[in-house]
Amino acid sequence: MNEQTAASLSFHVPEPEVRPGEQPDFSHVQIPRAGSVPRPPVDVDPSEIRQLAYSIIRVLNRDGEAVGPWAGTLTQGELLEGLRHMMRLRAFDARMLTAQRQGKTSFYMQHMGEEAVSCAFRRALEPGDMNFPTYRQAGLLIAGDYPMVEMMNQIFSNEADPLKGRQLPVLYSAKDYGFFSLSGNLATQFPQAVGWAMASAISGDSRIAVAWIGDGSTAESDFHAGLVFASTYRAPVVLNIVNNQWAISTFQGIARGGSGTFAARGLGFGIPALRVDGNDYLAVHAVAKWAVERARRNLGPTLIEHVTYRVGAHSTSDDPSAYRPKAESDAWPLGDPVIRLKNHLIKLGAWSEERQKQAEAEIRDEVISAQREAESHGTMHSGGRPSPRDMFEGVYETMPPHLRRQRQKAGF
Amino acid sequence: MNEQTAASLSFHVPEPEVRPGEQPDFSHVQIPRAGSVPRPPVDVDPSEIRQLAYSIIRVLNRDGEAVGPWAGTLTQGELLEGLRHMMRLRAFDARMLTAQRQGKTSFYMQHMGEEAVSCAFRRALEPGDMNFPTYRQAGLLIAGDYPMVEMMNQIFSNEADPLKGRQLPVLYSAKDYGFFSLSGNLATQFPQAVGWAMASAISGDSRIAVAWIGDGSTAESDFHAGLVFASTYRAPVVLNIVNNQWAISTFQGIARGGSGTFAARGLGFGIPALRVDGNDYLAVHAVAKWAVERARRNLGPTLIEHVTYRVGAHSTSDDPSAYRPKAESDAWPLGDPVIRLKNHLIKLGAWSEERQKQAEAEIRDEVISAQREAESHGTMHSGGRPSPRDMFEGVYETMPPHLRRQRQKAGF
Amino acid sequence: MARMSMIEAIRSAMEVSMARDEKVVVFGEDVGYFGGVFRCTQGLQQKYGVSRCFDTPINESGIVGTAIGMAAYGLRPCIEIQFADYMYPAYDQIVSEAARIRYRSSGQFTCPMVIRMPTGGGIFGGQTHSQSPEALFTHVAGLKTVVPSNPHDAKGLLIASIEDPDPVIFLEPKRLYNGPFDGRPDRPVTSWSQHPLGEVPEGHFALPLGEAVVRRPGRAVTVLAYGTMVHVALCAAEEAEIDAEVIDLRTLLPLDLETIVASVKKTRRCVVVHEATLTSGFGAELVSLVQEECFWHLEAPILRVAGYDTPYPHAQEWDYFPGPRRVAEALVETMEA
Amino acid sequence: MARMSMIEAIRSAMEVSMARDEKVVVFGEDVGYFGGVFRCTQGLQQKYGVSRCFDTPINESGIVGTAIGMAAYGLRPCIEIQFADYMYPAYDQIVSEAARIRYRSSGQFTCPMVIRMPTGGGIFGGQTHSQSPEALFTHVAGLKTVVPSNPHDAKGLLIASIEDPDPVIFLEPKRLYNGPFDGRPDRPVTSWSQHPLGEVPEGHFALPLGEAVVRRPGRAVTVLAYGTMVHVALCAAEEAEIDAEVIDLRTLLPLDLETIVASVKKTRRCVVVHEATLTSGFGAELVSLVQEECFWHLEAPILRVAGYDTPYPHAQEWDYFPGPRRVAEALVETMEA
Ligand SMILES: Cc1ncc(C[n+]2csc(CCOP(=O)(O)OP(=O)(O)O)c2C)c(N)n1
Ligand SMILES: Cc1ncc(C[n+]2csc(CCOP(=O)(O)OP(=O)(O)O)c2C)c(N)n1
Ligand SMILES: [Mg+2]
Ligand SMILES: [Mg+2]
């Protein structure tokens, strides 16, 4: 019945281009020229912009100039502030990594190389909008002026920890700053964000939700759940994929499979999908603004893939030298977001290497003084811990009898 | 910061074109001419055939002729046999619906209107291939010459039931006929099929797997899990979506959302996606053959959306007149699969209305005699039931002590 | 007061809640236009519009996940999982998310929501329309679990659940939807219109979560039951002619341990009944608590009558179902111990 | 015999199994090239190739679902869920599918597979790297559940699990990976190289599922424990100077009830210990069985020491953890009852 002979099948497992000891190689990553991708009107028919899921929107060119139709969404003052946000996040990370090594906290996760994504996106939001982030979007807090000392209190699980020591370090929650309680379980926030957005629409509100997920976590089923509901109810939500090329030890090909891009996952749902240079502060902001406006104007969800690179280890429990070449991050073709924005501002004549140095020193001081304050409330392995009594509180609004009995027996 | 005013959001819930009491309307369903969709080579680059996810492959035209590049995959003898398979399935359904009304079984689910999908697909498979079906693919059994009397024994939960009364009627299992044990939980079979296919590839085998899912169930997360794994490992599997327009009371727009088609869900995974006229026996077979060949030649998965219509109720527990116009199925523009194949064969001069009548009578007799035999082993509400002792068997290969104690205490 | 079936009582609870509080929204598979496969939400979309009662895609994790987002926003979702057997795809959202959001955010975000789901067998539903997964919820800190046994309680408890500030799992024994089933399928079905607990206040009324009720006072042995098994236990007590005190737990968590302990200290014997599989069922927790609290009063081992540790079979449903005969046997065994 | 940590013993079990039977395949998140975040699969890909040991997308339902398909095909998947806390997305595939395929197909299809997952706290992992979900498996007919407490058993039980014809949940107390942790975080960590049970046969050896072992014979009270709590219980017995008989259950289902009953009938007292939350934990099942079987022998209520009914907190980990002090208190309380 079938002409083909019964040749043996064979099993295919995607492999990264290179492994430790080999020469980093990103020649397979296609990067369009800055300014070359068109900017459609926000009410465009999604089926007309499918190609945006296969390109990369970029604003900053090699010479540090902002070019093309996506340029011009931020003033110079805003850009200077943006640079400062990214620098602050980077300095914060550096201090906390050291604090972890010193045993002041059990765990930390850094953002090195990805600072532009959350910092620039944050600027496109209004007060009242709600992010449903992953652990790698602390830039939303920094750029939203959440006090660093509060972040440190959480990281140190000290007596001033707003989460009372209950959560793993970096699993922040900051409702008033539009930052939803972080989960340790990947992808669960995706349908939650969509639900929050649906609730806003149901309530005739004007606030929107923003969902965040990593490249590896798009494989999780809740990514699908989020897309299905967002598509069906045209929820006012922006769905962000941060493709930093790695998911702990697995390269993005394991999650992406035969697909062209992660953004393309949105096309099957009729959701407009854009890819953006995640190391380009201006491009991220422009795309965020476009998507936020769609949501706010009741035009429905947008999916954004932020193309970036995880320069550091996955977390303080990880050592990437076991699975990728050490110098890979240097070879990453989209460069460093801080340096790129700095160069742009210098090009504009609004900044200089000296002012950069000076700002770095200021920011370091700022972070150090915040740390000093936080440490005065205790660190993980010093005194000043949340009380064990707290452990029993807040499981329910009112403590049920069985928990009361348990606390009593525990003697707390 | 944002120019737009804070206009109120509003909530969108997709609604079908018409509801009970209104005039059926399928004018929004775009149906290309038979023969108009090209047939690419099986080793085509998936990114070159994305448009196939938005069209409908059709072979039989209005005049009952087989036309275009997808025609010609079956001989006249095979077509005659195919007609008989569909008729047998329809007659089987009719008898079982009656049997349910008579209390001989607790439950039944019919295939009216969708017979071509499973019957034609089955022909493209080889012995040893494995289907992971839904409850609406009994055509795989009928066209695979699984004894009808065995199906009835299962439906009647009688003493000859191959599944010993353990399963809800129609949740068949027939390993030797390439039919995986049916689950009551939607979509779980999707990653399972992919896993079976991966196992075949890992083992250097030549057998392939076939997954089945309904339009409504594509919303389930396991649909995504299946696509992700199929894409990553290029598993030798054919992934079928049977879009019969309804999921119990919800029309396909609830699951499809803003998407153009269900087939388009595959594009984001780089999986070739085809849409086919599911009421066209020849088209289903041609597309099945194409996809099966891809899998067999280690070219990876294919996603197929079979466009059809659920003419009957969801199950014997359902009454569709509560949620859709009664005459909607008459208005369905792709016609009836049995009549269309019959007309084609008449056109070919290989068949006639008289032979059709005669075949109907023969098949009815065949089904009746199978039913008589099955009923001799008992029905749900007569004697001849599987023993309660069986209830404790087969939970594990070897009965553990606690189950032995429970059975002993039960006195069975 | 009005006469209601359990379906009508549940519907009435949602209707009353939606009328009182526009934050209450209702959704699930087939729940909107059609009104649910068991018709519990019939008419709600017509009355309150598609924004407050709507159909969803078939994705239980999405249903619960979006409801969590809505609850965090400030709405009060009351959602339906079509059968309890289909809650597993949502289990992560329930356990890792709904149950923990208040705790992990130190109260910044809360999750007031109700997840309704029909449970239990007795309708020839086979293994995926018959399960009783309550123990999978009672093990999870942060959830409350409610199981009504009649229309009156169903309404009062559902309203209380919707008004509760925390996530509540609301299990509806589907075999009771239309009448007080006593576990004897050979007898004609009685309807709620014949039963005093089919009399239900029409307007708003809430029954506090965490209060059990004695359905049948007795001195010989305490029977702990909930849902369908309450009626089975009552029937067994009559048939065995044993003066059992039958307690309807109504809420499994928080549990009304006081009522239980008072009864067992009085009767000095205890039988626990449920339909879920025996091993690690909620009965085990009840046995543990009773023996911890009443050890010195007990005159016989506490017995459990429960579903066998097999999947729920289709044809052998009535062999599987822990009916009055099995309960009566346990009562006799306890009395003779 | 060789000296092995628990990680090495688990790796050795997979290595031996893969060498003996080419049907054994190993996969999971970060399991292939990298060798797993706890390094349990290190070297397996190099030795047996990417077709037999490989990385997967991050989708637990997909991992278990594809493994079920592979098992139905005829392979023997031994898969890793990175942390037990992340098994919930796969719970439907485990409960509704893996556990029931043999039964519902009347043996046409079977599901021989092992799902390995690290469990338990004590590593400052917070609520999503610390859970002990064993009761969520023991309630499910069709699953077996295994929890080793040392390298020797881990290897023997894992090999037996891989060779078992049915699905086995293999829970690995991660606090024991590198040494026999006794629940006193203030003391220097001992390593398996100092412990007799760190001595493990190098080649193939299988320990039958369903056999408990007495770790410490005693006459005063029986302690039922598994995993990390075995070591905590031993420590508590020493510290309280109570002649406790400590039983390491090893397999929760099937359970070695005989060994348990024999011990309790001898000691007449019983304490049950686990790290999972108390309510509806596996301890409840143990208490129920012991009181059913040994009622007339018991001289005191059976006590449970378990995790509190809250999410596993981060900073208060050592207040939460049921350490030797709490176990010792229960021993004393039982003795004084
Ligand atoms: C449900 C679940 N499965 C597995 C994990 C373990 N885990 C934590 S982070 C991570 C990798 C995520 O990668 P990606 O989504 O790319 O995000 P990134 O860390 O790169 O920002 C994994 C597997 C988890 N936290 N939750
Ligand atoms: C996990 C799960 N959720 C819900 C159901 C209830 N259910 C059974 S069939 C069905 C509709 C499925 O529709 P579709 O996938 O379109 O298949 P069709 O019936 O049209 O063939 C639903 C919701 C189920 N069986 N399993
Ligand atoms: Mg990543
Ligand atoms: Mg359908």
Probe target for ligand 2 pocket from B217, B314, B317, with the most ligand atoms within 8 Å of CB = B217
Residue C300's SS3 state is coil
Whole-Å CA distances, C231 to A359, C131, C200, C247, D87? 75, 18, 18, 11, 37
Please say if the pLDDT value at position B2 is more than 90: no
Please say if the pLDDT value at position B263 is more than 70: yes
Between the CA of D102 and the centroid of ligand 4 the distance, in Å, is: 28
Nearest-angstrom CA–CA distance, C312 and C124: 10
**In a mutagenesis test of the A interface, which of D308, D317, D326, D329 is the best target, namely the one with the most A β-carbons within 10 Å?**
D308
Asked if residue D34 has its Cβ within 6 Å of ligand 1, the reply is no
Nearest-angstrom CA–CA distance, B374 and B362: 18
ipTM of the complex: 0.98
Between the CA of A243 and the centroid of ligand 3 the distance, in Å, is: 5
Whole-Å CA distances, D277 to A132, B8, C285, D118, D284? 28, 45, 12, 17, 11
The identity of residue C134, as a single letter, is: E
Helical segments of B161-280, H only: 189-202, 221-233, 252-256
Q: Which of residues 15-54 of A touch B (CB under 8 A)?
A: 46-47
Q: pLDDT tens digits, residue range A124-151?
A: 999 999 999 999 999 999 999 999 999 9
Contact A276, A306 (CB under 8 A): yes
Contact D233, D273 (CB under 8 A): yes
Alpha carbon A184 to its chain centroid, in Å, reads 15
Sketch the domain layout of chain A as residue ranges. Answer: 46-316+325-381, 388-412
Query: Which residue puts its alpha carbon closest to atom 12 of ligand 2?
Result: B247
- Helices B221-233 + A221-233 axis angle, to 10: 120
Neighbors of chain A by Cβ distance (3+ pairs < 8 Å) = B, C, D
Give the one of A219, A380, A402 whose C-beta lies nearest to D309's C-beta. A402
Q: Which residues make Cβ contacts (< 8 Å) with residue B194, sequence separation at least 6?
A: B209, B211, B226, B229, B230, B233, B235, B237, B301, D62, D65, D66, D69
| DSSP, res A301 | -
Between B385 and A190, the more confident residue is A190
Measured on CA atoms in the order B29, B34, B36, B42, is the torsion positive or negative? positive
Closest by Cα among A368, A260, D237, A400 to B266: A260
Whole-Å CA distances, A300 to A235, A291, B267, B394, D133? 5, 9, 21, 51, 39
Question: Residue A36, class by beta-carbon neighbours within 10 Å (0-12 exposed, 13-18 middle, 19+ buried)?
Answer: middle
Query: Which residue puts its alpha carbon closest to atom 19 of ligand 2?
Result: B247
For D75, phi then psi, to 5°, come to -80, 175
Nearest-angstrom CA–CA distance, B70 and D35: 47
Q: pLDDT tens digits, residue range D276-317?
A: 999 999 999 999 999 999 999 999 999 999 999 999 999 999
Whether D106 sits inside 8 A of B198 (CB atoms) is no
Closest by Cα among C248, C257, C245, C158 to C200: C158
Average pLDDT for D167-184: 98
Alpha carbon D64 to its chain centroid, in Å, reads 19
Between the CA of B216 and the centroid of ligand 2 the distance, in Å, is: 7
Within 10 angstroms of residue B411's Cβ, the number of other Cβ atoms is 8
> How high is the mean pLDDT of chain C?
98
Q: Which residues make Cβ contacts (< 8 Å) with residue D334, sequence separation at least 6?
A: D221, D269, D270, D271, D300, D301, D303
User: Which stretches does DSSP call E strand in C137-217?
Assistant: 144-146, 168-173, 199-200, 213-216
Residue C222's SS3 state is strand
End-to-end CA distance of chain B: 76
Within 10 angstroms of residue C137's Cβ, the number of other Cβ atoms is 26
| D2/B contact by beta carbon, under 8 A | no
Q: Which helix (H) or strand (E) holds C221?
A: strand C221-225
Nearest-angstrom CA–CA distance, C132 and C118: 9
Q: Kindly state the tokens that stand for C118.
A: 């029909």
The per-residue pLDDT for A258 is 85
Q: pLDDT tens digits, residue range B314-323?
A: 999 999 999 9
Whether C303 sits inside 8 A of D292 (CB atoms) is yes
**Hey, what's the torsion of the CAs at C135, C136, C138, C143, to 10 degrees?**
-150
Question: Residue B126, class by beta-carbon neighbours within 10 Å (0-12 exposed, 13-18 middle, 19+ buried)?
Answer: middle
Strand pairing category for C168-173 and C144-146: parallel
| Residue corresponding to tokens 């009685």 | C190
Please say if the pLDDT value at position B3 is more than 60: no
Please say if the pLDDT value at position D166 is more than 50: yes
Q: Which atom of ligand 1 is nearest to the CA of A218?
A: 15
Nearest-angstrom CA–CA distance, C235 and C246: 10
Please say if the pLDDT value at position C257 is more than 90: yes
Please say if the pLDDT value at position B5 is more than 60: no
Contact A169, D124 (CB under 8 A): no
Low-confidence ranges of chain A (pLDDT < 50): 1-4
Nearest-angstrom CA–CA distance, C224 and C239: 17
Q: Which atom of ligand 2 is nearest to the CA of B315?
A: 19
Contacts of B392 in chain C (CB under 8 A): 308, 310
3-state helix, strand, coil in chain A (%, to 5): 40, 10, 50
Q: Which atom of ligand 2 is nearest to the CA of B220?
A: 1
Whether D139 sits inside 8 A of C281 (CB atoms) is yes
Asked if residue A217 has its Cβ within 6 Å of ligand 1, the reply is yes
Average pLDDT for C281-303: 98
Contact C320, C308 (CB under 8 A): yes
B239-258: buried (b, 16+ CB within 10 Å) or exposed (e) per residue?
A: bbbbbbbbbbbbbbbbbbbb
Within 10 angstroms of residue C42's Cβ, the number of other Cβ atoms is 16
Please say if the pLDDT value at position C107 is more than 70: yes
Q: pLDDT tens digits, residue range B40-83?
A: 999 999 999 999 999 999 999 999 999 999 999 999 999 999 99
Helical segments of chain C, H only: 6-20, 44-48, 60-73, 91-92, 101-104, 135-138, 151-163, 228-240, 257-267, 282-294, 317-320, 324-336
Q: How confident is the model at residue B6 (pLDDT cuts 50, 70, 90)?
A: low
Q: Which residues make Cβ contacts (< 8 Å) with residue A254, sequence separation at least 6?
A: A14, A216, A219, A247, B232, D55, D56, D57
A211-248: buried (b, 16+ CB within 10 Å) or exposed (e) per residue?
A: bbbbbbbbbbbbbbbbbbbbbbbbbbbbbbbbbbbbbb
Q: Which of residues 279-318 of D touch C (CB under 8 A)?
A: 279-285, 287-288, 291-292, 295, 298, 300-304, 309-311
Q: How much is the CA Rg of chain D, to the nearest whole Å?
A: 19
Give the one of A224, A234, A298 whose C-beta lies nearest to B224's C-beta. A224
Contact A285, A124 (CB under 8 A): yes
Q: pLDDT tens digits, residue range C60-88?
A: 999 999 999 999 999 999 999 999 999 99
Give the one of D58, D88, D126 whose C-beta lies nearest to A216's C-beta. D58
Strand pairing category for B209-214 and B237-243: parallel
Q: pLDDT tens digits, residue range D91-116?
A: 999 999 999 999 999 999 999 999 99
Q: Which residues make Cβ contacts (< 8 Å) with residue B281, sequence separation at least 6?
A: B60, B79, B82, B83, B86, B116, B119, B120, B337, B340, B341
Closest by Cα among B301, B217, B294 to B266: B301
Residue B303's SS3 state is strand
The per-residue pLDDT for A6 is 62
Any long-range contacts for B40-44 (C-beta under 8 Å, 24+ apart)? Answer: B42/B290, B42/B293, B42/B294, B42/B297, B42/B299, B43/B294, B43/B297, B43/B299, B44/B272
- Residue D139 among the catalytic residues: no
Asked if residue C86 has its Cβ within 6 Å of ligand 2, the reply is yes
**Hey, what's the torsion of the CAs at B140, B144, B149, B155, to 10 degrees?**
-20
Closest by Cα among B149, B111, B152 to B133: B111
Contact A76, A350 (CB under 8 A): yes
Nearest-angstrom CA–CA distance, B366 and B92: 9
| C3/D contact by beta carbon, under 8 A | no
Alpha carbon C258 to its chain centroid, in Å, reads 20
Domain B46-316+325-381: give its CATH architecture: 3-Layer(aba) Sandwich (3.40)
A145: left (phi over 0), alpha (psi -120 to 50) or beta: left
